[in-house]
Every structure is written in C-alpha cells, then in structure tokens.
C-alpha cells in the first residue's frame, strides 16, 4: 500500500466484499461469505450470475490490492528511510498496538510465575518476505534465536505452508509444527488432500498464461501467488481463481500477502490450531499459561482473536504499517521478532539479574543485584560487549593457531579497547545520522565493526549509476543485509552508550580487574547460549549470503576483464593466484545461489580463498573497499577445534607460566583483525 493513499488502515477483505455485496438484494445472496474468506458455492445462478461474479471478483481484487503494503522507498538505495516518528498514522497506531519490545516489561511482568508458550508464524515473521516462496529461507541467526526459545518455552510453528515444507525451512526438531494453516494437526480427511491436488492442477492450468503467477500446493490448502504478476493482470487472476472454485464447492479463498489462499470450507484456522495445541500440550490452564503468538498475516488474526477471547496471552502483529488487528502488540519486522525472542530467553535465563535498566522490572530480586551489576546489565551493552569480546577472542585464537602468535590478557584487553574506539566512532556517526532523521544513507566508517566487512549500505558504482528519479524496487534479497546492518548499527550505538555507563561503573578498577569484569559478564551471557554457538552464529552471519553474495557477484563480473587487461603487467604466479581466486569466488557464488545454508561448504571455500590473499585492489576498490577476503577466511575454522571459551583461561595460564611471547611489537597498529 502506498502510504500516500487515503486510508492508513488496511481493512479486512471480508468487510470489503460484504460492503460490496451489501448493495445486492438479500434474496440474491445465497452464496456464503465465509469467516475470513468467501466461497462461490451454492450461488443462485438464476438472476444475475454475471453481476454477482463481477462483485466477487472485484471484492477479491480489492483485497488483493490492499495486501502486502509496501513502504516508501528511498530514491537512492531502494531502502525505506521514513521513520515511524514522522508518520502520524503510524504513531497513532502504535499507541493502540505498542511495540512488544518497548512493552517487554509489561509482558514479562504478567508472565511472572506462569509458563509462556510461544507460537510463531513462518513467512514474514521468521523469514522476510521474498519474491520466490521457495527461497524464503530463515537466517542462521534467526534459527539460533528460535532454537534458544524452544529450550526454555514450548514453541510451535503455525504456518500456511505444508508441514514438511515449513520444517525444511526451519529445520528444528525441538519444535511443534502445524502446517496448512494448522489443518494438518487435526487429521483432516484424505478428501481434503485430494481436492487440494485437483484444484492445484486446475489452477496451474488457468494461470499458466499469466506471467509471474505461481501455484503452491500446501497439502490441504493451495496458494496462488500474484506477487510477481503485473497489477493490470490481478483482476484476471481473481477471475480465474473464482471460476476454478465454482467446481469446488467445498473450497473457499482468502487473501494473504500477495497470495490467494484456497482452503477447505471447514471450521478450522490458526486460532483453532493454537487452541488444539495448547490443549494437547497440556497448556490449557489459562490462569497459569501465557501463550504468545507472533504473526504477520491475515490468517494470524484468527489466532490473535482466540487469545483475546480467552483473555490470556498476547498476539503480536509483525507489521511496518498500521493495520486493523486483534493483536495486543506489534513488532516491525523479522529482525525485531528475533530481538524479542532473544529478550525472552535472556529474561528467563537471567531472571536473577533482571534490572530496571534492562527490562524495567522492579521486582524483589533486583534489590539483590549489586550496583555495579545493575550498570553492567544494560542488556544491549552486554550483548554488544559480548560480541566484541567474542570477536576479539576469536581473532586472538586465530592468530594463536595460524601464526603461532600469542598475546597477554592485557594486550588483548588493549585491543578490545581500541576496537571499542572504532565502534564508538561508528556508533556516534550512526547515532547522529539516525537521530537527525535526515534519511542520509551515507556509509558510516567502521560499520563493519572493524572486521573488514563490506558495508552493505555503501553505495556501489552500479547503484550510483541508477537514475535517481526511478527508485529501484526494494530487492528482497537485500532484506537480510539491511536487517544485519540495522542490527550492527543498533548494537554499535548501544555499545557506545554502554561503554559510557561501564566506564563510570568500572572506574577505579585496574586493567586486569576490568578484564575480569568483562569476561565475567561475557561468561554469564555466554552461559545462556553456549559460547561455541555464539561464535558459530557470528561466523555464519558474517559469511552469509546476505552479507557477501552481492559484492562477490560484482567482483566475479569484473574479474575476467581485469585479468585480461592486466595479464601482461603481473607475474605468472600472481596471474595464477588471481585465476584461482576467481574460480573460488565463482564456486562460492554458486553455493550462495544453490545452497546458501551449506555453511560447511562456504567455510571450506573461504579457507581456500584465504590462501589467495587479497583480490587486486583496483578491482575491489569500487565494489567493496572494506572487503578483506584473507581475513574473512580466518573466520572459518570451526570453533570446536579450540573452544573460544577456553582461550582466555589458556592465555592466562600460559602467561602465568611465563610461556607467552607478547606480540605487541610485531603487530604495528595493534589491530589484529
Ligand atoms: O502462514 P505463513 O507461514 O505466513 O504462510 C502464508 C503464506 O506464506 C508464503 O507466502 C508468503 O511468503 C512468500 C515468501 O516470502 C511470498 O513470496 C508471498 O508473496 C507471501 O504471501 C507461502 O508461500 C504461502 O503458501 C503461504 O500461504
């Protein structure tokens, strides 16, 4: 939806069709308007069938137009620049449906002493919406967050997809799954599956001539996707689906995010699925169980409604625009969902350290937390610090393993402090650019956390050449990158704030004591998630398709020409090395395209890449000036070889034994990234 449109609120498609149908004499309305959809079954064809059909098609079309609203696009980068603070409609909506992150305190306060059960929709909630439904993969960090949540709370995925398909995406055995809008947990008759197959065939036939239209069989339901169909053809899609459904009186159609969902006319939906799951998991005690349901789509409203009616638990709508909803709270996008899930885990794990600055709790347990801890428990600071310490320790470990270089704890701490200074610089710029609200998307030095990572927001030549008047469509595959970028920016900013707090809190402590404190905090946090998985998650994020694929594609595109032009200017060895590098990059791109989740392969290629050193600097300069492949390669050794959590104690031990060679002198600038 274009926000410049008149109504800021997306209305229910049913309401739209009812409105339209309201104009007809009631005796002509023998077709049924289903809750959450409508079916053309039982239609009285005597009077003006064509007219009724037209009304149905138009109703469907209206619903299609109002679905999957898009936000304003930034002219230069195809990104959204608008902030909710500037949008009065959004602010008004937020007052009714506040952020679940901002309201975390209330949510957990009401859950004190009760059991939380978590229900999660998949598309648009755990994975960003993308053009190709088969590519709606979940990021490794999101998977880690869901895995952690499931460690502490019974967790179920409730999806419109078939159960198998959603499992293929989520890949976590510890969860419960309800596919086909929850239908596959209620053992529907084989007839439903059969008619889904039949209607899939008919739908495939009729839409085959419409460019971009696809049909997805979700076992008991069928999705007709029109996200990639030109808007002028949407009416045709609506008409054809409507026509096909006339032969299937037991099926109805509802509208989701750029998708028409054909479902059996049975009294079953995601709300019923949630009730069923609560019952069968022994969580039906509404006094003592708080179900939290997070979803982004219309079908999730059935679940929100159930929670509201039961007067227990919370629906959380994932949306960046105001919507009519039965949910109590909102989150803007999957990255906020992940943050919320992480909050839940930390709250559960560290309830003893719960402090006002962190979750705003003022429970008794707070009084037992020492003041210094209160300062240090600023959640985001701890997170950022953890990442930072983790990263530095990891680099140290690499230097230790690959270069046989070791450093003292105080040197390591010095490096951490230097890194923090870089964060500080980045955070200050990031904070000022965001608080100015100017929408200035200039790259911020240091946004790659000093890791030599490309800044996904840095304008590349290709982007700069695009005419500013016509904004490029928001590339769905960039969603993770901007998610990652947002996260890094947020963490950086918070690290800076946290650093200030910590500086005050730790004033008077000497380097070693400070280091001890850092490590203690780190271990507390790491204890919640296990150190290896934090490192692994971080490595996965840094080497993920979302971060690296775009710059790699750009380099691979230009590399052959560069080689040709420079062959006579470089040595034979260099030429071979570069050729080798190009081949590896091509391999890497292939993995990113075909099996982006295959981290083992990505690690392997990156390791080999490390041997090839940096690509020619004039080649990468325009594309990804900060990209340092040889350094990224160092990331790829499995943490299991030497758990990073042991490293600090190992360093200390060796230091005590006097076995350390301090390497400050050998490392100019002390930057070991
Ligand atoms: O209940 P959900 O798990 O949210 O499933 C609802 C539909 O999700 C998928 O479609 C949506 O996501 C696609 C990938 O991002 C996107 O291309 C499409 O436009 C969205 O509607 C799924 O493909 C459908 O079958 C589900 O019904």
CA of 460 to the centre of ligand 1 (A): 31
Q: What's the pLDDT at 512?
A: 52
Residues in the chain: 673
CA distance 302 to 548: 39
Whether residue 277 sits in one domain with residue 169: yes
* Cα 96 to chain centroid, rounded: 24
Whole-model pTM? Answer: 0.53
Which residue, among 275, 337, 424, 349, has the nearest Cα to 145 in the 3D structure?
337
**Choice between 252 and 505, residue whose per-residue pLDDT is larger:** 252
Whether residue 238 sits in one domain with residue 212: yes
Q: What's the pLDDT at 202?
A: 96
In a domain, 69, yes or no: no
CA distance 243 to 49: 12
Instruction: Please say if the pLDDT value at position 386 is more than 60.
Output: no
Q: What is the mean pLDDT of the chain?
A: 67
State pLDDT tens for residues 138-173: 988 889 899 999 999 999 999 999 999 999 999 999
**Choice between 636 and 203, residue whose per-residue pLDDT is larger:** 203
Q: Could you tell me if the CB of 177 is within 6 A of ligand 1?
A: no
Q: What's the pLDDT at 211?
A: 96
CA distance 282 to 304: 20
Whether residue 259 sits in one domain with residue 281: no
Whether residue 308 sits in one domain with residue 227: no
Whether residue 629 sits in one domain with residue 550: yes
Count Cβ atoms below 10 Å from residue 665 Cβ, excluding itself.
7
Whether residue 251 sits in one domain with residue 277: no
In a domain, 493, yes or no: no
Q: What's the pLDDT at 380?
A: 42
Q: What's the pLDDT at 56?
A: 79
Whether residue 346 sits in one domain with residue 311: yes
Tell me the CB-side half-sphere exposure of residue 157, using CA atoms within 13 A.
Answer: 30
Q: Could you tell me if the CB of 200 is within 6 A of ligand 1?
A: no
Element (H, E) at 316: strand 314-318
> Which residue(s) pair with 325 in the sheet?
none
CA distance 223 to 258: 10
For ligand 1, pick from 13, 125, 133, 196 the residue to mutate: most ligand atoms within 8 Å of CB: 133
Count Cβ atoms below 10 Å from residue 563 Cβ, excluding itself.
17
Q: What's the pLDDT at 218?
A: 94
Q: Residue 565: which CATH number?
A: 1.20.120.900
Residue 416 pLDDT class (50, 70, 90 cuts): low
Predicted-assembly ipTM surpassing the 0.90 threshold = yes
Q: What's the pLDDT at 185?
A: 80
State pLDDT tens for residues 48-67: 666 677 777 888 888 887 76
State pLDDT tens for residues 582-627: 999 999 999 999 888 888 788 788 778 777 777 787 777 665 544 4
Residues near 442 by beta carbon (within 8 Å), at least 6 away in sequence: 433
CA distance 608 to 86: 48
CA distance 278 to 617: 58
Report in angstroms the alpha-carbon separations of 480 from 333, 364, 380: 11, 40, 20
The catalytic residues are 121
Residue 541 pLDDT class (50, 70, 90 cuts): low
Instruction: Please say if the pLDDT value at position 322 is more than 80.
Output: yes
Which residue, among 36, 27, 452, 500, has the nearest Cα to 256 in the 3D structure?
36
Residues near 491 by beta carbon (within 8 Å), at least 6 away in sequence: 380, 383, 384, 387
State pLDDT tens for residues 97-107: 999 999 998 99
State pLDDT tens for residues 195-234: 899 999 999 999 999 999 999 999 999 999 999 999 999 9
Whether residue 629 sits in one domain with residue 586: yes
Q: Could you tell me if the CB of 122 is within 6 A of ligand 1?
A: yes
CA distance 2 to 139: 28
Q: What's the pLDDT at 62?
A: 81
Whether residue 606 sits in one domain with residue 565: yes
Q: What's the pLDDT at 394?
A: 54
**Choice between 387 and 120, residue whose per-residue pLDDT is larger:** 120
In a domain, 671, yes or no: no
Residue 274 pLDDT class (50, 70, 90 cuts): very high
**Choice between 337 and 512, residue whose per-residue pLDDT is larger:** 337
Question: Which ranges in 436-469 belong to alpha helices (H)?
Answer: 461-465
Q: What's the pLDDT at 550?
A: 78
CA of 219 to the centre of ligand 1 (A): 14
Instruction: Please say if the pLDDT value at position 576 is more than 70.
Output: yes
b/e for 389-411, b at 16 or more Cβ within 10 A? bbbbbbbbbbbbeeeebbbbbbb
In a domain, 174, yes or no: yes
Element (H, E) at 120: strand 115-120
Atom index in ligand 1 nearest the CA of residue 297 equals 4
Residues of the chain with pLDDT > 70, as a percent, come to 52
Q: Residue 110: which CATH number?
A: 3.40.50.1000
Residue 526 pLDDT class (50, 70, 90 cuts): very low
> Which residue(s) pair with 178 in the sheet?
158
Whether residue 276 sits in one domain with residue 160: yes
Hey, whose CA ends up nearest to atom 8 of ligand 1?
A: 123
Q: Could you tell me if the CB of 261 is within 6 A of ligand 1?
A: yes
Instruction: Please say if the pLDDT value at position 244 is more than 70.
Output: yes
**Choice between 484 and 291, residue whose per-residue pLDDT is larger:** 291
Domain boundary among 251, 267, 283: 267
CA distance 438 to 443: 14
Residues 318-324, mean pLDDT to the nearest whole number: 93
Which residue, among 242, 240, 243, 265, has the nearest Cα to 252 in the 3D structure?
265
CA distance 599 to 137: 14
Q: What is the 3-state secondary structure (H, E, C) of 220-264?
A: CCEEEECCCCCHHHHHHHHHHHHHHHCCCCCEEEEECCCEEEEEE
DSSP string covering 323-356: B--S-SEEESSHHHHHHHHHHHHHHHHTGGG--H
Please give the order of strands across the beta sheet that includes 214-217.
33-34, 37-38, 251-255, 259-264, 222-225, 214-217
Instruction: Please state the domain count of the chain.
Output: 3
Q: Could you tell me if the CB of 216 is within 6 A of ligand 1?
A: yes
Domain boundary among 303, 324, 352: 352
Residue 643 pLDDT class (50, 70, 90 cuts): very low
CA distance 265 to 267: 7
Whether residue 276 sits in one domain with residue 178: yes
Q: What's the pLDDT at 86?
A: 61
Give the residue numbers spanning the domain of 192: 188-267
Domain boundary among 309, 324, 352: 352
Q: What's the pLDDT at 112?
A: 87
In a domain, 555, yes or no: yes
Residues 187-192, mean pLDDT to the nearest whole number: 70
Residues 652-663, mean pLDDT to the nearest whole number: 43
Q: Is 652 exposed, middle or buried (0-12, 13-18, 19+ CB in 10 A)?
A: middle
CA of 259 to the centre of ligand 1 (A): 7
Count Cβ atoms below 10 Å from residue 360 Cβ, excluding itself.
15
Hey, whose CA ends up nearest to atom 9 of ligand 1?
A: 123
In a domain, 2, yes or no: no
Beta strands in 121-217 (DSSP E): 155-158, 176-178, 214-217
Whether residue 284 sits in one domain with residue 164: yes
Q: Which of 110-114, 376-380, 482-486, 521-525 has the highest mean pLDDT?
A: 110-114
Instruction: Please say if the pLDDT value at position 332 is more than 90.
Output: yes
CA distance 35 to 363: 43
Q: What's the pLDDT at 126?
A: 97
Q: Which of 49-58, 414-423, 514-523, 528-537 has the highest mean pLDDT?
A: 49-58
**Choice between 520 and 666, residue whose per-residue pLDDT is larger:** 520
In a domain, 341, yes or no: yes
In a domain, 333, yes or no: yes
């Amino acid at each position: 939806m274009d926000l410049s449109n008149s109504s800021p609120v997306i209305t229910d498609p049913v309401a739209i069709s009812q409105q339209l149908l309201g104009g007809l004499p009631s005796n002509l309305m023998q077709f049924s308007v289903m809750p959450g959809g409508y079916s053309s079954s039982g239609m009285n064809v005597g009077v003006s069938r064509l007219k009724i059909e037209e009304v149905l098609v138009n109703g469907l079309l209206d619903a299609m137009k109002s679905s999957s609203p898009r936000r304003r696009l930034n002219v230069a980068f195809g990104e959204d620049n608008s902030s909710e603070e500037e949008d009065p409609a959004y602010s008004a909506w937020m007052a009714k449906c506040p952020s679940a992150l901002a309201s975390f305190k209330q949510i957990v306060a009401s859950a004190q002493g009760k059991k939380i059960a978590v229900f999660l929709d998949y598309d648009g909630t755990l994975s960003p919406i993308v053009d190709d439904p088969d590519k709606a993969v979940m990021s490794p960090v999101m998977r880690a967050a869901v895995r952690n949540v499931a460690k502490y709370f019974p967790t179920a995925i409730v999806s419109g997809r078939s159960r198998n398909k959603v499992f293929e995406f989520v890949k976590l055995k510890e969860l419960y799954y309800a596919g086909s809008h929850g239908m596959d947990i209620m053992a529907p008759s084989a007839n439903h599956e059969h008619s889904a197959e039949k209607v899939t065939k008919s739908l495939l036939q009729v839409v085959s001539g419409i460019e971009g239209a696809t049909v997805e069989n979700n076992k008991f339901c069928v999705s007709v996707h029109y996200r990639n169909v030109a808007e002028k053809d949407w009416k045709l899609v609506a008409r054809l689906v409507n026509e096909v459904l006339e032969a299937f009186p037991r099926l109805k159609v509802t509208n989701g995010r750029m998708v028409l969902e054909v479902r059996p006319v049975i009294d079953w939906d995601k709300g019923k699925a949630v009730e069923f799951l609560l019952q069968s998991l022994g969580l039906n005690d509404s006094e003592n169980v708080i179900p939290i349901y997070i979803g982004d789509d219309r079908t999730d409203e059935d679940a929100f409604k159930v929670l509201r009616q039961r007067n227990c638990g919370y629906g959380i709508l994932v949306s960046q625009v105001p919507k009519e909803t039965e949910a109590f709270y909102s989150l803007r996008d999957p990255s906020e969902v992940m943050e919320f899930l992480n909050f839940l885990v930390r709250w559960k794990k560290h309830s003893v350290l719960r402090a006002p600055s962190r979750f705003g709790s003022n429970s008794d347990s707070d009084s037992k937390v020492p003041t210094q801890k209160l300062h240090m428990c600023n959640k985001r600071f701890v997170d950022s610090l953890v990442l930072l310490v983790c990263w530095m320790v990891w680099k140290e470990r690499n230097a230790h393993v690959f270069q046989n270089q070791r450093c003292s704890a105080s040197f390591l701490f010095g490096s951490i402090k230097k890194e923090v200074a870089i964060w500080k610089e980045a955070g200050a710029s990031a904070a000022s650019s965001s608080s100015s609200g100017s929408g200035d998307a200039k790259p911020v030095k240091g946004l790659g956390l000093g890791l030599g990572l490309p800044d996904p927001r840095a304008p590349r030549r290709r982007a700069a050449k695009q005419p500013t008047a016509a904004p490029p469509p928001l590339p769905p595959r960039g969603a993770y990158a901007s998610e990652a970028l947002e996260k890094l920016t947020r963490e950086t900013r918070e690290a800076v704030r946290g650093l200030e707090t910590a500086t005050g809190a730790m004033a008077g402590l000497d380097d070693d004591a400070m280091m001890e404190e850092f490590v203690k905090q780190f271990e507390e946090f790491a204890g919640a998630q296990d150190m290896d998985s934090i490192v692994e998650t971080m490595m996965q994020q840094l080497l993920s398709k979302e971060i690296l694929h775009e710059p790699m594609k750009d380099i691979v595109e230009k590399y052959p020409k560069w080689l040709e032009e420079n062959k006579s200017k470089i040595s034979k060895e260099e030429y071979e090395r570069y050729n080798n590098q190009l081949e590896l990059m091509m391999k890497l791109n292939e993995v990113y395209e075909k099996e982006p989740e295959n981290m083992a392969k990505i690690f392997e290629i990156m390791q080999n890449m490390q041997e090839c050193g940096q690509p020619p600097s004039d080649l990468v300069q325009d594309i990804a000036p900060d990209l340092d492949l040889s350094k990224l390669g160092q990331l790829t050794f499995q943490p299991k070889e030497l758990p990073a959590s042991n490293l600090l104690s190992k360093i200390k031990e060796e230091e005590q034994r006097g076995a350390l060679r301090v390497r400050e002198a050998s490392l100019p600038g002390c930057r070991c990234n």
